[in-house]
Structure 1
Amino acid sequence: MTARSALRRYTLVCFLTWLPVGLMMPTMVLLMTERGLGLAQIGLVLTVFSTVTVALELPTGGLSDVVGRRVMLAVSAGFLVAALALVSVSTTFWMFLAGGVLKGVARALSSGPAASWYVDTLHRAEGRDADLKPGLSRGAAMESVSLCLGVLAGGALPLVVPPELFFPLAAPSLAGAAAAAVLLVVVLLALPEPPHARRSLGGVLREVPGTVVAGVRLAAGGRVLRRLMLAAACSGVLLVSIELLTPGRMAQLTGTAEQGGTAYAVVAALGFAGSAAGSALAPRAARLAGGSPGGAIAGLVVAAFSVGALAATAGLGGTAGLLTAGTAYVTLFAGLSVTGLLCLEMTHNAITAAERTTVTSTSSLSLQAGGIVANLTLGTLAAHAGTAAAWGLTAVVVLSSALLFVRMPVTGSSRAQDPAVRAGSG
């Protein structure tokens, strides 16, 4: 397979992987609220989702490195279909909790295999020194475009679905289930993978723990990977602070849950548009900053000041509140996407194919672990001290994480492209 063909397939899977997430995002919290769940119960559902994801990240990453990327992506899509179909008809806390468990399984299974498939395919086509940034940048940009379109559609659906036919706030989840079914078909048809040796299921499962242990040791023992894992945890705090606190603020600004969902969809879409721009600009940011670590620092500084702006304007109401939130979302997600893309490149350059998905799953685990801490703390802080205090604390955490990239060792293709390294080799 050529590098161009691999990139087309990779970007298509990236788009379809995040479309169901975008569709359900604007109304998920509001749906649980309308069906009788309190804020504490909603936080518990979100925490269970994150906990399941964390618990399965490494085992499923190791399994992917043993049995292949396509199998894991297909199984993930199947779990996501079941999860979103269940959520769309859930009426009790326990049903939503079960949906959270299924979503957690789906998230863990999908963490890493698509990017690993692309990197492995590109290395086969162009060698280990192939520049990963352009392809990974396009994939990340496509994910953001998918989320942008998804949240817009998910926010609009409750306004056009007749209440007598279906509960409006549940329509986006049902649409997400349909999109996940399309993803399942595409993965099976569009991601050919070199055949693996025929092994028994028991033999495969026996290999997983060794792969996981090797990946964890690599992530914990390497200076680059250890810093990248800590940075991912801080990014998880930021993302949860936005997802947990913004829907309620939008409902407060607009007056109703349905209108709040639509407002959140518009603001989130602006954020994902900024994310797409950040992903596309990441290679240029790295060049201007003198390398990937410098570009990552710049992205985190932008993200920290953006969430700080959200904290400073949390008391605004009406149109002013909506405009400031939208502006902050664009710059926040643009900065975070620059950092995320460059971190992904640095991660892949520091590892080999044998542990690629395991280590990227470790990064996702760190992200989810940061999210769990945020779920358990920021909601309580916001309830007692206000939303501004929670976002202010988040800004401090994100800005502090930029220190992790100071004097970051450079590896792989990033090293070959680093101006200082090229000057020294000349």
Structure 2
Amino acid sequence: MTAATAPLTAQAAARRYALVSLLAWLPAGLMGAPMVLLMLQRGMDVATVGLVMAIHSIAIVALELPTGGLADVIGRRATIAASALFALASLVLMGLATGFGLFAVAFVLKAVSRALASGPAQAWYVDTMHAAAGPGADLKPGLARGASMGSVALCGGTLIGGIVPLALPASWSLGPLVPLSVPMLLAAAAAAVQLAVTLAALPEPPRERAASFGNVLRGVPIAVTAGLRSGLRERAITRLLLVAAGVGVVLTAIEIFTPGRLQELTGQPESAGMVYAVVGAIGYAGSALGSALAPLTARLARGSRAGAITGTCVTALSLAVLAASTSLGGTLAIVLAGLGYVTLYVGCGVSELLRGEMLHRRASSAERTTLLSVDSLLLQAGGAVAAAGLGWAALHLGLAAVWWITAGVILATAVLFPRAARTRTASGEALQPVPAGAAG
């Protein structure tokens, strides 16, 4: 046996999952700040940029469930590697694109990568942990470590992506490359490293379903159907998945309205990429802190459910702080807005980590990645509703109303967290409920 195929210990699985999480999210961080600015610099107007983003969203929605089912059929490792390969292609094309057509193709490739990436790394870690330590293995520390490393990658990558173009002369160019293109190529390099690490260091864990290549086309719809049936059949899974829609509302509201509010408060419209980079980095740092605090929160709250509700309440309270800050100006408003922004991501990091753990305890290996794709789909559905509805609310009712509505939505999701956690054997049979104290 080679090092890549030898069975992994729980500690080794956690380390490798953390590394892959870092590499998976680093490209998104590097490209985040300059992405829209690059398209505008290439001569596209805001409406055309919006059309490209719409194509991206539609492609993700169309691919989420099929790609989740594919991961449950062909394996976690192959799906993660495919995601990295599509990311590499999309980022290289994005850095070289000069017009709508090439950007549209690049964003479709990016959507394929995103859809492939929604779940298989987590599923790889959970399946590997179950193989190493049994179905009752404590997943929280490793999931927290992976989520924290992902947030660290987003935080650091966003800052680097905002700084690098400013470090180059504005007149610098190399063929189609301009300063705003460079973060895209750095992101492509990170995707290439992820591809190499995945192939070298992630052995395929034991799974319930093993299919030959000839059975893939038949296996995908079967896996998708099984995942959807499980979500509808088991009320606890349905409720946990529905929470994702509320989270999507919150994250979309933050992405749409916070940058403009901070720019209004600081009065600094210049260097837009750097401003967005700093704002995003603060949020990702808060998310990393929340993920790291999730296991401790669950212990102090005497259970994952109570810990997740605590994180949800912190998120709602943070939105209330943002709402209150809209009637203020000057330094106090900036301080309150910054405090609300950071604590929102801390609370969301806590609740999402614990929600993920509760979902994994109820899902069998064969349907796990498909359920994570359903989760991602509902997150984006909530975001789509928020983008339309909250835009209207901001226009007619004001920004404070947006924050109050969003706070009410996320607070309402607290009642969806199920009371008793169940864990499954490799065959998918539910074990006895885990006591709240033990689950924490």
Say yes or no: TM over 0.5: yes
In the alignment, what sits opposite 1:397?
A: 409
Amino acid in structure 1 at the alignment position of 2:296:
R
- 2:65 matches 1:55: no
Tell me how far apart the structure 1 counterparts of residues 181 and 254 of structure 2 sit (CA, whole Å).
Answer: 22
Per-residue CA deviation, residues 294-328 of structure 1 (Å, 9 max, x unaligned), is 11111111112223323333466676555444322
- The offset of 1:164, in angstroms, is 2.1
Counterpart among 184, 188, 191 of residue 180 in structure 1: 191
Counterpart among 145, 151, 156 of residue 138 in structure 1: 145
SS at 2:170's partner residue? Answer: coil
SS at 1:354's partner residue? Answer: coil
- The offset of 1:41, in angstroms, is 4.1
- The offset of 1:352, in angstroms, is 1.3
Greater CA drift, 115-124 or 368-377: 368-377
Tell me how far apart the structure 2 counterparts of residues 252 and 98 of structure 1 sit (CA, whole Å).
Answer: 35
- The offset of 1:13, in angstroms, is 0.1
- The offset of 1:66, in angstroms, is 1.0
How many residues are matched? 421
In the alignment, what sits opposite 1:311?
A: 323
In the alignment, what sits opposite 1:77?
A: 84
Tell me how far apart the structure 2 counterparts of residues 316 and 38 of structure 1 sit (CA, whole Å).
Answer: 33
Which structure 1 residue ranges, 5 or more long, are not aligned? none
- The offset of 1:169, in angstroms, is 3.2
Counterpart among 420, 427, 430 of residue 409 in structure 1: 420
Amino acid in structure 1 at the alignment position of 2:361:
N
More helix by share: 1
- 2:29 matches 1:22: yes
SS at 2:314's partner residue? Answer: helix
Residues 182 and 382 of structure 1: is their aligned pair in 2 closer, same or farther, counting only changes over 3 Å?
farther
In the alignment, what sits opposite 2:294?
A: 282
Counterpart among 69, 73, 82 of residue 66 in structure 1: 73
- 2:307 matches 1:300: no
Question: Contact 1:251 / 1:259 at 8 angstroms: preserved in 2?
Answer: no
SS at 2:137's partner residue? Answer: coil
In the alignment, what sits opposite 1:337?
A: 349
Counterpart among 226, 238, 245 of residue 233 in structure 1: 245
Tell me how far apart the structure 2 counterparts of residues 42 and 312 of structure 1 sit (CA, whole Å).
Answer: 33
Tell me how far apart the structure 2 counterparts of residues 62 and 173 of structure 1 sit (CA, whole Å).
Answer: 30
Greater CA drift, 295-304 or 200-209: 200-209
Question: Contact 1:235 / 1:367 at 8 angstroms: preserved in 2?
Answer: yes
Residues 282 and 118 of structure 1: is their aligned pair in 2 closer, same or farther, counting only changes over 3 Å?
same
SS at 1:343's partner residue? Answer: helix
- The offset of 1:277, in angstroms, is 1.3
Tell me how far apart the structure 2 counterparts of residues 300 and 122 of structure 1 sit (CA, whole Å).
Answer: 27
Q: TM-score, normalised by structure 1?
A: 0.90
Which structure 2 residue ranges, 5 or more long, are not aligned? 1-7, 425-431
- 2:231 matches 1:213: no
Tell me how far apart the structure 2 counterparts of residues 383 and 102 of structure 1 sit (CA, whole Å).
Answer: 34
Per-residue CA deviation, residues 20-76 of structure 1 (Å, 9 max, x unaligned), is 111112233343444454554444433332322222111111111111111111111
- The offset of 1:117, in angstroms, is 0.7
Tell me how far apart the structure 2 counterparts of residues 318 and 88 of structure 1 sit (CA, whole Å).
Answer: 39
Counterpart among 352, 364, 367 of residue 376 in structure 2: 364
SS at 1:208's partner residue? Answer: helix
Amino acid in structure 2 at the alignment position of 1:403:
V
Question: Contact 1:250 / 1:260 at 8 angstroms: preserved in 2?
Answer: no
Tell me how far apart the structure 1 counterparts of residues 190 and 138 of structure 2 sit (CA, whole Å).
Answer: 32
Amino acid in structure 2 at the alignment position of 1:112:
G
Question: Contact 2:152 / 2:285 at 8 angstroms: preserved in 1?
Answer: yes
Tell me how far apart the structure 1 counterparts of residues 34 and 240 of structure 2 sit (CA, whole Å).
Answer: 32
Greater CA drift, 390-399 or 250-259: 250-259
Residues 17 and 134 of structure 1: is their aligned pair in 2 closer, same or farther, counting only changes over 3 Å?
same
Residues 416 and 373 of structure 1: is their aligned pair in 2 closer, same or farther, counting only changes over 3 Å?
same
Tell me how far apart the structure 1 counterparts of residues 255 and 348 of structure 2 sit (CA, whole Å).
Answer: 15
